[in-house]
Each structure stands twice: as C-alpha cells, then as structure tokens.
Amino acid sequence: MHHIILSVGLLIFAAHALNFIFKKTYIPDVLILIIFGILLGPIFQIIMPQDFGRVGEVITTIALVVILFESGCSLDFKVLVRSFKTSGYLTLLSFFMTTLIVLTFAIVFLNMSFLSGLMLGVILGGTSSAVVVPITDVLNIHPETKTTLLLESAATDVLCILTLFSLIEFSELNQSFDLIKFISSIGTSFVMAVVFGLLSGTLWLIIIDKLKNFPNSLTTTIAWLFIVYGITEVFGYSGPIAALAFGLILTNFQSFGFINNYILARHEIKPLTKVELDFYKELVFLLKIFFFIYLGIQFEIKEYYLLVFALGIVTAVFMSRIPLTKYLFKRVDFEDKSYISMMAPKGLAAAVLASIPLAHNIPGSEQIIDIVSMVVVFSIILCAVLVMAFRFKLIKNLYRKFI
C-alpha cells in the first residue's frame, strides 16, 4: 500500500512539472499522461482497467462535470454572448461533417450497415471538454476563441447523446427518422439544462451566503454541483450543460438582469472569492491527472485492421476541420484559427456512448466499442502533438498555407 501512496505523491508533483513544461515548450501534459497510462496498462500491465471496477467510470464522469463547472466559473458572460453565434455554426457543421466522414469510412472499408455506421459517426461526432479546456487554458488565444471551443465541446455532447438514443429508439420501433422530433428533443434538452443550471445556481448563491460562516464550506458547492448534475440527468436533460450553466451564474449573476434585479435584489450576494476559484482549479488539476492516465490504461488494440481504420478516421476528421475553420473564422487571426482547427479530440462522451449499441443488440456493436476506444486515444494524441508542433516554423507555414 505504501508504494501506491508514494506513487500518487510523485505523480502529483510530476503533473505540476508537466504543466510548467507545457507553458514553456507547448508539450501538452495530457499527451504525457496518456502515454504514461498506456505504459502502465497495455504495455507493462502493471494496472488494468478492471482493477478500478465502477470507480473508474464514476471518477471520469466527476472529472468531466467539475471541468465544465470550473470552465463556467471562468467564463465572461459578455464574451459568451459574442461567441455564441459562431460556436453554434461550428458545433453543427463539425458534428455533421464528422458523422458523415465516419459513416462513409464504416460503409466503404468495414462493410457496416448504414445504421451501425451512422451510430458510430454520431458517437464520434463531438469534441471533448476534458481535453479542450486544459489545453486552451495554457494557450495564448483570445477569450472569444476559448469560449467558442468550450461551447462547441459542451454542446456536441448533447448532440451525440440525443442523436444516438433517437436512432436506437427509431430502430427498435421500426420507425423512420423524424427530423422535427429530433430537433425538438435536442432543443428541449439544451434549454432545460441551461434553465435548471441557472436557477439552481441562483438558489445556491442565496444559500452559500449563509454557509460561508461554517467550516468546510468550499466543498459544499461541489456537492451541490453533483446534485444539480444528477437531477438534470434524471429528468432526461443534459447534466454537463447544466454544470456549465451553474458555474456561469455563480460568477456572472450581475449580467443576468432579471435574476440580479428581482430574485437576488433582497440579498447581499458576493461573487466567489479567489480562494474558492483557486480551489476549484486545483480540483480540476487533480481530476485531470486521473482522467488522462485512466484513458491510457484503457487503451487496447484487438485487431490491427481496426487500428488502421481508426487512424484513418482521426486523420480525415482533423483534415476536414481545416477548411471548415477557414470558412467560419475569416476574421479571426491566424494563430487562433489554427488552434481551432486542431481541437477535434474525442473523449468521455464517446467512450461512454460506445457501449450503448451493444446493450441494444445493434449489429456491429463489438467493432464500434473497439474503434471508439482507439479513436479517442489517437485523436487526443494527435491534438496534443499538433499543438506542440505548431511552434515550429515548418508546421506553422503549412497551416499558413492552408488556413
């Protein structure tokens, strides 16, 4: 047991060092953490995924929720409003383009049925908040760009989840795909999650003002966050979006006229303190370490032809994002535009959704799980490598030529 405790302590110190190295050299810490996980798991088999049991899945979900919450706390509402239109276009076009690419690959190279290929495409259609946020936090990019990428990663999770379950529902009931019903479901889930996050955050601002005189009140906000996430999911709405909205209202309540002037007017509400915000950043840092090492430990190659297929998908998705970025962000400066084109990593949502088709006996489900696990790891690695390589003149000139 003492060896494990010693390793955890050394790992946290090493992670701080990696974060410092990222700021100086642009070698992303997430890349090193994933490689470390691959060494621990698949290569040397020191730790295996089954050693974690259900705890691994729970902590990765907690990591996602806390990362989105802390990102919401860091957002400026005015910047959010300016970025919303562009992020909406990026979210929709990126999701549909990725889905179409994966569907085409699945049908042409794996002879998958249209339904199975479409489900695979939908699962991989989003980007990962847990990867995008830590990387963009260190990059020297404009707040609007960072907010656009955060909103894309949060919103595509909703698209992936709702589209996949809609496809499963229609396939089981032998119904045709109802576009109006699908759009209505997505809109409802998104709006209700935002409303629930904002209202629960407003209520918490009133409650926490009374709790600040009690000891250990820092962790009560995280406990409330988990309650908000859980209740939102129980009602069938997007828990991650609610977590983001919850964090947003805690630091931007003065920008919401109705809430600030009518609901909070009778209370002396104070913004979160620097101590509280620093605590949440440190919590995100610790959870991030586990999240990326756990991803590496889970990595497994069962069939080498699927390895080639996964690499092909990742390459095509990242390449297709270049013209999309060029088209949507004409007025954005070159470096920001380049970083936007690199931010197509897959993550927790894809890994969780991969097992859903198997539970519903969809043909080709075993292949879907294997492909998704490889695409998640490869896409994160490629994203990290591109960010690191962009500081070199050759790579920068290539991006300048195409973007």
The DSSP-derived string for 321-381 is HHHHHHHH-TTS-HHHHHHHHH-----HHHHHHTTHHHHTT-TTHHHHHHHHHHHHHHHHH
Percent of the chain scoring above 70 in pLDDT: 91
Residue 185: which pLDDT band, with cuts at 50, 70 and 90? confident
Residue 216, pLDDT score? 59
pLDDT for 173: 60
More confident residue, 111 or 46: 111
> Long-range contacts made by residues 328-336, C-beta under 8 angstroms, separation at least 24?
328/86, 328/89, 328/90, 328/93, 329/86, 332/142, 332/145, 333/142, 334/399, 334/400, 334/403, 335/140, 335/141, 335/390, 336/141, 336/142, 336/145
> Is the pLDDT at 2 greater than 80, yes or no?
no
Residues 295-347: tens digit of each pLDDT: 788 787 778 899 999 999 999 999 999 999 999 998 899 999 999 999 999 98
pLDDT at 214 > cutoff 80: no
**49: CB partners within 8 A, 6+ apart:** 41, 56, 294, 297, 298
What number is the average pLDDT over the span 92-119?
A: 93
DSSP state of 215: T
Of 233, 218, 61, 85, the C-alpha closest to 147 is 85
Residue 215 has pLDDT above 70, yes or no: no
Higher pLDDT, 179 or 394: 394
Q: How confident is the model at residue 107 (pLDDT cuts 50, 70, 90)?
A: very high
Better pLDDT: 173 or 99? 99
Residue keyed to tokens 């992936």: 160
Q: Is the pLDDT confidence value at 167 over 70?
A: yes
| 91-109: average pLDDT | 95
Range 128-147 average pLDDT: 87
pLDDT greater than 80 at residue 217 = no
pTM of the model: 0.80
Domains of the chain in sequence order: 53-289+303-340+349-374 (1.20.1530.20)
What does the mean pLDDT of the chain come to?
A: 84
When mean pLDDT is compared over 48-62, 137-151, 174-188, the highest value belongs to 137-151
Handedness of CA 319, 323, 324, 325 (dihedral sign): positive
Instruction: DSSP letter for 47, please.
Output: S
Residues 112-135 have a mean pLDDT of 90
Give the Cβ contact number of residue 43 at 10 Å.
Answer: 12
- Identify the residue with better confidence: 129 or 325: 325
- Return the biggest CA–CA distance within the chain: 64
What is the C-alpha separation between 399 and 81, in angstroms, rounded? 29
Mean pLDDT of 180-196: 79
Q: Which of 133-137, 309-313, 370-374 has the highest mean pLDDT?
A: 309-313
Question: Could you tell me which residue, 387 or 45, shows the higher pLDDT?
Answer: 387
Whether the pLDDT of residue 16 is over 80: the answer is: no
Instruction: Please compute the mean of the pLDDT values over residues 246-252 and round it to a whole number.
Output: 90
